[in-house]
Every structure is written in structure tokens, then in C-alpha cells.
Amino acid sequence: MIVYFVLKMLELGYVMKYRKPYFVHTPFLLRKLNDKQKFILLNQFQFYNKLTPKHQRYFEHRVASFIVDKEFVGREGLVVTDEMKILISATAVMLTFGFRDFYIGLISKIFIYPEIFYSTANQEYHKGEFNPKLQVLVLSWKDFKNGFDIKNDNINLGIHEFAHAIHLNSIKERDVSSTIFADTFKELTTLLSEKETLRKELIGSQYFRDYAYTNQYEFLAVIIENFIETPAQFKAQFPEVYDKTKQMLNFNFAGY
């Protein structure tokens, strides 16, 4: 017990100084994907191909583990396939690849519709939504796929909805990665509230789509979409915001 407490205090000091966990991945008991599943990653998930071989092994383990941890449910007659499980899970794993705890505990089920669906939450048609009370993330498969077909338009349904889930999960949980995420987002909102010029530049640039300014939740989801899809442009135009986003996600791999 004393050793555990000492280690926790040592890591706390490390986190306060470097703003990242002392370690993220462990090389033990790694799950593997079968050949068919790995083929899907190699051919349809660009981010995976940017990783080093070591990081690819960690990524595969996390995708396999995420699939086991979540219940995937097809709606309106849709049959859930390996492709759906792999690509949806890979999206979640990509966003949490810098986290030690990557499971996003607020999600227990993932509902997949063939396309746009009617939501009873607000009586409107949606492409995706996240319900933290029911611990359900809902996606239109057609629109999820469209998000990856165009890789630099900064619109990606899967990234957007998982970003919402990660954000709310970071508020609820107190693991080291969630704490860094939540605290860094607070730092970012403080930065933007104090720097009026930067705030006006963000809005005036039209780099982030207008939906980002709906509320803080949509702002966070949109900037993560931009961070993943057009990192070079993001960094060149708004380096301070880029650095905070990178710190939130602990994204120190794949050239980011």
C-alpha cells in the first residue's frame, strides 16, 4: 500500500511537470487481430499505417480489446460486420491512443443504423449521437464511412461523436489521462476567454466550421476533428490551440 502511494505521488509530480502520463502502453498480454481484421486496418484506416511497428502492435491490441468490451448492435435490420467493428473501434482507439485507460467507460453499447435515423431524444433526424445516461453511442454507418472517404474536409462523424464521449468521460473519471484531458481543456477555454484577439481570429478564419461555436462541447469535438484531419494547417494557423489539443490527447506519434 505504501509503495503504491509513493508511486502515485511520483507520477503526480511527473504529470504536473510534463503534462502527460509517465507511461501509456504496456508490452504484456497483447491481444491480436485475425488476418481478416488486420487487413481491414491496413487497407481502410490510414492512421494505423502511420504508426511504428511497435505502436501498431499496441493499436491492434487496443482495437481487439475495445471490441470485446463493447456491445455492437445493428438497428433497422443492419447486420454488424467485422468491418464495422474494426473501423468504429479503431476510431475510438485512435483518439485515446495517448491515454492509459482507452476504454471510454461511459460507452457500453454502440448502435449502428444503416443511415440517418430518427432520434427520440429530441424528435429529429440525426447522423450520430451520444447518450451518457444510457451509455450508448449511436452512428449512421453511411455517414460514418463518408467521414473517412474525404480525409481533409474536417468533418468526420466517428471522430466527432467519440470526442463527445471522451469529453464527458473525462469529467466523470479521475484516471490520469482523463484528468489531463479535462484540465487541459479548461486551460484552453481560459486561454480563449483571455485572448480576445485569438478568439476573433478563430471565428474570422472560418477554419473551424460554424457548428464549433454552438457550445463548448461542440467546439471541442470540432477542433479534434480538425486536429486529426488537417494537423499541419491547424498547427500553422493556430499553434497555441493546436498545442493544447495535442496535450489533451497526449498525441505524440504518427507525425502529430
Residue 4: the pLDDT is 56
What phi and psi, each to the nearest 5 degrees, are found at residue 65?
Answer: -70, -40
Residue 6: the pLDDT is 57
Residue 121: the pLDDT is 78
Residue 5: the pLDDT is 54
CB-based burial label for 89 (10 Å; 0-12, 13-18, 19+): buried
Cα–Cα distance for residue pair 237/243, rounded to 1 Å: 12
Domain at 24-249, CATH from 3.40.50.300, 1.10.472.150, 2.40.420.20, 3.30.1330.200: 1.10.472.150
Task: Say if CB 144 and CB 217 are below 8 A apart.
Answer: no
pLDDT tens profile 186-199: 999 999 999 999 99
Residue 17: the pLDDT is 75
Residue 90: the pLDDT is 98
Q: Please give the biggest Cα pair distance in the chain.
A: 54
pLDDT tens profile 91-126: 999 999 999 999 999 999 999 999 999 988 788 999
Give every residue of the chain whose pLDDT is below 50, as ranges. Answer: none
* Residue 245 to residues 132, 136, 149, 151, 197, Cα–Cα distance (Å): 23, 25, 24, 19, 19
Cα–Cα distance for residue pair 74/91, rounded to 1 Å: 18
Q: Where are the domains of the chain?
A: 24-249
